[in-house]
Amino acid sequence: MLEPRRIALIKPSALGDIAHSLPVLTALRIRFPSARITWVVNTAYEPLIRNHPDLTDTLPFDRGMFRRGVWKSLRYAAGFAAELRRRQFDLVIDLQGLFRTGLMCLASGAPRRIGFANAREGSRHTYTQKIRVPDADRIHAVDRYWRVVEALGAGDIPKRFHVPLDAAEVASVRAELAELPRPWVAVAVGAKWLTKRWPTAHFAELLNRAQSHFGGTALFVGASDDTALSQEVIAVGEPRGLPPLASDDHKTTGINPVAHLVTRDFTGRTSLPRLAALLASCDVMLGNDTGPLHLAAALGRPCVAPYTCTKVALHGPYTGMSGGVETSVACGGSYIKTCDKMICMPELTPDRLWPTFAEVLDTWQRNHRRSQVG
């Protein structure tokens, strides 16, 4: 089969899914070094990948246009379909697997269209090559997407997460954080699914404990919808006389515990390039199973996360799976978005996450001390 000259990678959303797809992009570039590679992505997420070195360009898709009336929606859809056709893709890869992305595959007119055999909403019927993943319910999303790479004969390429960073944003973030005590802990307390939202009181208790033992600053990240939750954590962030660590090694590090929760709230204040720069600058990530957590993992940050309705094996922080701590209730990992019981929340206590969080912070502290001595 002829090598493709123009490739479209369709993965419009969401932030975590885009982070999970990054190894596929880099593998495509290595496998097809001369091809033009375009990422079809929602307009909201396009700034994050716009300058990715493995991309030729992006094709932003404005999903919001479909909320502006029938005629405007139809005109936009027709124009977007025409643009897909105009670019003359000869290989289209649909990692999203939904009705609208299946239509994108058809509209492209590409002779080769790859997607998953179990794709939803009828999208699988638009593919010329269907990839079967019989163990989809047992493998991580990153590994499931990777089956596309294997189908293209490039499975021996190492999985690489490359998040493009804006140098100016990194410099600006570093200057803003420079006077704050370390470790810098990025914290994401929000989530669209109610069943993913670990209680704010749990976050506050865990952060209080961490700060009393290790010092540092909690940097809250997320959308503007998460600001109220972040403020709840900040409001109850007072020391509670928690028990000391078994080891008192922290006393020799030169990092002094503080008397109150040191915080900065960045929720709703960062573009995606600035969020990436902020997460890349942080020392540790603490958050629910949402986009910022997976972006931090893609950036190689140590991550700690409570898992209630989702499973670590399927959607844990891929570069640091041991940081995911699951509930032990029978209905854990049910993948339901709402629940009238929520028994997982009181069961998955701060005590359950503390050993993992303390180990990550202790490792950072030891490495930080060595770097200062060196």
Token output for 271: 């573009």
Instruction: Give the C-alpha separation, 189 to 339, whole Å.
Output: 18
CA torsion, points 333, 231, 217, 319, in degrees to nearest 10? Answer: 20
Instruction: Give the C-alpha separation, 339 to 96, whole Å.
Output: 26
Angle at 227 between CA 269 and CA 274, to 5 degrees: 25
Segment (H or E) for 7: strand 6-10
Instruction: Give the C-alpha separation, 348 to 80, whole Å.
Output: 46
Strands (E), 231-363: 263-265, 284-287, 303-307, 324-326
> Which residue from 46, 164, 148, 54 is spatially nearest to 97, judged by alpha carbons?
148
Instruction: Give the C-alpha separation, 196 to 188, whole Å.
Output: 11
The secondary structure of the chain in percent helix, strand, coil, rounded to multiples of 5, reads 45, 15, 40
8 A C-beta contact, residue 298 and residue 19: yes
Residue 319 confidence (pLDDT)? 97
Q: Is the dihedral of CA 303, 133, 151, 81 positive or negative?
A: negative
Token output for 304: 């700690």
pTM (2 decimals)?
Answer: 0.93
Instruction: Give the C-alpha separation, 233 to 326, whole Å.
Output: 21
Instruction: Give the C-alpha separation, 77 to 367, whole Å.
Output: 52
Residue 68 confidence (pLDDT)? 79
Residue 225 confidence (pLDDT)? 95
Token output for 41: 């992505």
Residue 15 confidence (pLDDT)? 98
Instruction: Give the C-alpha separation, 83 to 24, whole Å.
Output: 24
Point out the residues of the chain with pLDDT beneath 50. Answer: 239-259
Instruction: Give the C-alpha separation, 197 to 190, whole Å.
Output: 6
Distances (CA, A) of 147 to 40, 114, 137, 155, 217: 19, 11, 14, 8, 40
pLDDT tens readout for residues 12-33: 999 999 999 999 999 999 999 9
Domains assigned to the chain? 6-151 (3.40.50.2000), 169-373 (3.40.50.2000)
What are the two backbone dihedrals, phi and then psi, of residue 119, each rounded to the nearest 5 degrees?
-60, 150
Angle at which helices 99-108 and 70-86 cross, to 10°: 50
Angle at 307 between CA 150 and CA 297, to 5 degrees: 50
Residue 247 confidence (pLDDT)? 37
HSE at residue 207, side-chain half, CA atoms within 13 A, is: 34
If one counts every other C-beta atom within 10 angstroms of the C-beta of residue 313, the result is: 15
Residue 66 confidence (pLDDT)? 76
Strands of the sheet containing 57-61, edge to edge, are 57-61, 36-42, 6-10, 91-94, 112-116, 129-131
Residue 260 confidence (pLDDT)? 60
